[in-house]
């Protein structure tokens, strides 16, 4: 295919848009954040690139572009973006799966060590000018349970194994990880409580779907160890935030490291800000200096495949949502 028209849902002043200059000269590109920006080009568009458009804009543009044959998301998560008409259409959707995995794996391990070595206590003592030795936890031999085991889960598992931790994985299809060298034991979703009861650290990496929304809630906190730490680097609503706050306030679990929340940015005065057993990240655990460039290069590689009629990479199962 020589000629293509791409609708890019992005702020036109985004610096990384300059990388689209690598596309063939015969490619027409329209950029904007309103339906009006695409009025002249949507009818002949082949591709939609969703940079940072919301679900409403994406669906509006989709309805304006009846010839679209491929849609790509520059993020890995697709919650809220897979509206019914898109799911039921033959149009493939691809995403940035894999781009963020290493950074998120590093954050998860950092969170484990933050609590095991009680870095908050060390900082408080330093600021107070106090010399107060105490015992720390050795993570070697402890168990890390993963809720979800896709690309990010495996990145966490490889790093936890390097620390000598015992990795447990909970996934919808446990047979896919029976032979995984990083996983000591894999559990099906009907064994969720069994796995949670064994884990010293619970790392949530599951995508947000109707089935996973609120899957870590009041009952799950009841079966976790009182010394356990929850680490959420997946999607905020996978964890029942009200139940989590209650468990943290009542010290039913040791703590939590959170990169994602129900509402973002986290509103001023939110109770999570004042909890001293929480490590809070403003959804920036995977924001390396070049993350936008790296995720755009996945699109550029896929565009070459699309242009040549080759199979696309990172194709999403639209019905499952990931």
Establish whether 36 is a catalytic residue: no
Q: Under DSSP, is residue 193 helix (H, G, I), strand (E, B) or coil? A: helix
Residue with tokens 């490590």: 279
Consecutive H or E run containing 29: strand 27-32
Q: How many CB atoms lie within 10 A of CB 266?
A: 18
Phi (first) and psi of residue 43, to 5 degrees? -65, -25
**Could you say which of 249, 264, 301, 304 is catalytic?**
264
Phi (first) and psi of residue 47, to 5 degrees? -135, 140
Establish whether 270 is a catalytic residue: no
- The Cβ-side half-sphere exposure at 47, using a 13 Å CA radius, reads 26
For residues 299 and 72, the answer to whether their CB atoms sit within 8 Å is yes
**Could you say which of 235, 241, 254, 307 is catalytic?**
235
For residues 294 and 282, the answer to whether their CB atoms sit within 8 Å is no
For residues 153 and 146, the answer to whether their CB atoms sit within 8 Å is yes
Establish whether 283 is a catalytic residue: yes
Largest CA distance in the chain: 69
Q: Under DSSP, is residue 197 helix (H, G, I), strand (E, B) or coil? A: helix
Residue 198, token pair as written in the block: 């064994």
Crossing angle (nearest 10°) for helices 101-116 and 151-162: 40
Task: For Cα atoms 303, 234, 222, give the angle at the middle one, nearest 5 degrees.
Answer: 160
**Could you say which of 120, 213, 252, 283 is catalytic?**
283
All residues at 6 or more sequence positions from 71 whose CB lies less than 8 Å from its CB, including other chains: 47, 48, 49, 50, 62, 86, 91, 92, 93, 94
The span from the first CA to the last CA of the chain, in angstroms, equals 28
State the catalytic residues. 235, 264, 283
């Amino acid at each position: 295919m020589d000629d293509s028209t791409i609708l890019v849902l992005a702020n036109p002043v985004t610096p990384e848009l300059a990388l689209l200059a690598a596309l063939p000269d015969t490619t027409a590109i329209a950029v904007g954040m309103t339906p009006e920006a695409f009025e002249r080009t949507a009818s002949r568009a082949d591709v939609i690139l969703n940079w940072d458009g919301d679900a409403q804009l994406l669906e509006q543009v989709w309805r304006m572009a009846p010839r679209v044959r491929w849609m790509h998301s520059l993020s890995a998560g697709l919650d809220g973006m897979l509206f019914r008409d898109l799911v039921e259409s033959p149009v493939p959707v691809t995403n940035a799966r894999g781009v963020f995995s290493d950074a998120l794996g590093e954050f998860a391990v950092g969170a484990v060590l933050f609590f095991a070595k009680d870095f908050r206590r060390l900082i408080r003592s330093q600021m107070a000018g106090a010399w107060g030795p105490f015992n720390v936890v050795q993570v070697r031999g402890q168990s890390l349970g993963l809720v979800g085991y896709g690309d990010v889960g495996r990145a966490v598992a490889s790093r936890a194994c390097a620390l000598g931790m015992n990795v447990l994985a909970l996934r919808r299809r446990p047979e896919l990880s029976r032979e995984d060298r990083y996983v000591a034991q894999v559990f099906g979703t009907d064994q969720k409580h069994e796995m949670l009861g064994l884990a010293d650290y619970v790392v949530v990496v599951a995508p947000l779907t109707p089935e996973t929304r609120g899957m870590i809630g009041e009952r799950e906190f009841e079966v976790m160890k009182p010394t356990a730490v929850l680490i959420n680097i997946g999607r905020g609503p996978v964890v029942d935030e009200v139940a989590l706050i209650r468990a943290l306030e009542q010290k039913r679990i040791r703590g939590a490291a959170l990169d994602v929340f129900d509402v973002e940015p986290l509103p001023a005065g939110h109770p999570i800000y004042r909890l001293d057993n929480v490590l809070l990240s403003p959804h920036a655990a995977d924001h390396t200096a070049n993350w936008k460039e790296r995720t755009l290069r996945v699109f550029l590689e896929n565009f070459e495949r699309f242009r040549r009629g080759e199979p696309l990479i990172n194709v999403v199962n639209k019905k499952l949502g990931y």
